[in-house]
Structure 1
């Protein structure tokens, strides 16, 4: 019987330049910038041809505001909350808030991921005198916190800026990085203030809304009509639109648009298709309309983004 692998401390993983032993064909790079007063920025970039499972122990003593900028493949993590292991999917263009002193868990990934995490000492967050809603406050206090599903265009654009900044041979100033980190944290907290209580959603309604989102995103070149989506979900249109706001913190079209722009970004990073081709494939008859939507989502023109990714 093979020996059980001991958990890897998070402090070891976030050490700048961490590589890990993941076998041939697998690559992992960690970039860490430590800022003043208990604030760190950590970028995790990895490509795993074969599925990798990494046992973890969170000894960081930090709250993690984490945003997955890019994902081609699958990734999830699970933590023991004192009663059972709870699994959380990691999605492209989405973020999570997590905190747990010395808790253990598993990280699983196959494919490629690019993630940025702002790690903040709880005492520093308290000094900022920001508004922490009761649900988040209780989750942080129990030290088994993992709250996910945070999405917004501003959040995605800020994460994109931080990822780019950590790639520069001449890095941005500490003040700039600190400011962008504070901005990302504030956007997470803003998303929580805008998030209606999901506890009023029944398990059946949650299942229907998840099915509706899957149907909505099946073809990113054309969004189904609201009546068609409501019929697919088995819900009235008002209940469907209200449910999307509650469960996904966005409108129906907002969820569709974020997924469409995330797909556009991934294709432009791959470099195999022109901006015009990507725009056309995603249902844009007018390239300028596509450029406007992309810039609104990520704060940069698609042609500039493609050039910055290293493609002509």
Structure 2
């Protein structure tokens, strides 16, 4: 049976760590242990951050990352294949060479499973949201990033694409940068921005084509509203995307695309927002404890609920309830 381990569990399995600073803006962290070994370069640039990571598993295990709240980030898979999923948000994704993704996932536990002995190399970066706000025409951005550019409420997303020949050239230049010091920082920032432009334009082009091809009929819209009602009625045990699509008679692609068009968010994004709004109303009523409210809306861990609630409303559920 495959072990499921947290960061703390991994550290307890005889890991030895070392950290050096090749430059004032860069940290090189390396580790070696019974479970896995590798290194990670963390590079702070002006309006973004960059990490380059290489590692491999020595034993079969699933790494369980605690839920966090992140700004949008992109990742490019240079070598090695692994499987990843976010509990309660997305199905399992195959992350393999030649693929890339952009994501922003709030408060969901991530599970990563990689084959033993397979070397993983990935390049990952994140942009300061203020940079996205500089885009006058948000249509040039992927639809998932447009709310960040306009300052609107954003919803969790994970979206994969294909690495092109142009992207491969830029990735090679990032991985084999010959500069040092401030020139290195300047060079890498320019290359990451170039890589972001190539990725964003690829997604935006697909979005424009899909918008033209997925005009919704009145019957489709009715089925989407039916899907929304099912989610609201089954808040504690919602169906999967595939199960929901079967219930309302839409294929999963049209369900996901249609949900964005009609409700402005993903299926799971809508469910999450609805759950938190129901939680707010229950807290106002004051008849249930915070733990009971969490269970009532489908959260099995009150700590995850408290984190999600605070992120949405800017205040903890316990404090919110006491103020009411």
TM-score normalized by the length of structure 2: 0.49
Provide the residue aligned with 1:119 in structure 2. Answer: 126
Provide the residue aligned with 1:157 in structure 2. Answer: 169
Provide the residue aligned with 1:100 in structure 2. Answer: 105
Is the contact between residue 31 and residue 38 of structure 2 (CA under 8 Å) also seen in structure 1? yes
**SS of equivalent to 1:116:** strand
**SS of equivalent to 2:141:** coil
Aligned length: 187
Task: Structure 1 unaligned segments of length 5 or more: list them.
Answer: 9-14, 202-312
Q: Does 1:66 align with 2:79?
A: no
Match of 2:95 among 84, 90, 96: 90
Q: Does 1:176 align with 2:187?
A: yes
Q: How far apart, in 1, do the equivalents of 2:7 and 2:155 lie? A: 18
Provide the residue aligned with 1:27 in structure 2. Answer: 37
Q: Which has the higher contact order (CA 8 A, sep 6+)?
A: 1
Provide the residue aligned with 2:55 in structure 1. Answer: 46
**SS of equivalent to 1:155:** helix
**SS of equivalent to 1:134:** coil
Q: How far apart, in 1, do the equivalents of 2:125 and 2:66 lie? A: 18
**SS of equivalent to 1:184:** helix
Q: How far apart, in 2, do the equivalents of 1:66 and 1:26 lie? A: 21
Deviations 1:100-138 (A, max 9, x none): 233321122121111001112223222354622435537
Deviations 1:148-204 (A, max 9, x none): 023211112111211122xx5836522211110100100011111332329969xxx
Deviations 1:74-114 (A, max 9, x none): 3021113xx45521110102110011233321122121111
CA deviation after TM superposition for structure 1 residue 36, in Å: 1.5
Is the contact between residue 104 and residue 156 of structure 2 (CA under 8 Å) also seen in structure 1? yes
Provide the residue aligned with 1:56 in structure 2. Answer: 65
CA RMSD in angstroms, aligned pairs only: 3.5
Ranges of 4+ aligned residues in structure 1 off by more than 3 Å: 3-8, 15-21, 57-60, 133-143, 168-172, 198-201
CA 1:57 to 1:200, structure 2 compared with 1: closer, same or farther past 3 Å?
farther
Is the contact between residue 67 and residue 95 of structure 1 (CA under 8 Å) also seen in structure 2? yes
**SS of equivalent to 2:133:** helix
Q: Which structure has the larger Rg over C-alpha atoms?
A: 2
Q: How far apart, in 1, do the equivalents of 2:190 and 2:41 lie? A: 18
Match of 1:193 among 204, 214, 225: 204
Q: How far apart, in 2, do the equivalents of 1:84 and 1:117 lie? A: 21
CA 1:138 to 1:104, structure 2 compared with 1: closer, same or farther past 3 Å?
farther
